[in-house]
Amino acid sequence: MGFIQSVSRVHHSFLGSLVFVVGMGILGGAACAQNISGSAALDPAACEAKLIPALQSISADVRKLQMEMLEDRRELLAARIKDIEDELQVIQSRQRELLGEQQSRTQQVSDIESQLAQAPLSKQEREELEATEKDLLAGSPEMPAAVLAQLAQREALVRERLAQHEQRLQSVDRQLRQLAPSAK
């Protein structure tokens, strides 16, 4: 059974418990108003003594189900956050890779220009260096810049998604803390 189906099953169980609580309240009220034979009303104190522990138990069960649902939601959000963080790392790795390639190309061109300016070179060596420089410069510096811009935009969107999921996780954590002291 998948995680989502499990959460859905817990949610369904929670709703079933709520229906049960309402049913118990109705039945308990009816039992307090009239005994099984339909004769005189029961003593309200006796009725209260029977219903309060049952309702307290049901209330504790409902609180426990609420906590389980929130814990499942927390687990799901934590997994989503991990996936988003992994996606962000891939984007950042690609950005570093492209920046490294761009810096390497710039350094190679600079080195070739230095060699062409300083050393007395044969015609063949000069032609080879100039051809290499031309190839490096023809590598379209705009292309990595455009890809880097796309990656930066994607990174911003992923960071926004990450922040939203982290806020949701914090909200679930607050709800869990609010329920925890009452669950005793």
Burial (Cβ within 10 Å: 0-12, 13-18, ≥19) of residue 55? middle
Nearest to 75 by CA among 7, 158, 160, 15: 7
In 3D space, the residue among 63, 64, 54 whose CA is nearest the CA of residue 24 turns out to be: 54
pLDDT category, 149, cuts 50, 70, 90? very high
pTM of the model: 0.65
Nearest to 98 by CA among 106, 86, 87: 106
Q: How far apart are CA 140 and CA 15, in angstroms?
A: 61
Lowest mean pLDDT across 19-28, 102-111, 131-140, 150-159: 19-28
Q: Residue range 171-178: average pLDDT?
A: 94
Quote the crossing angle between the two packed helices 44-118 and 123-138, to the nearest 10°. Answer: 160
Residue extents of the structural domains in the chain? 3-183
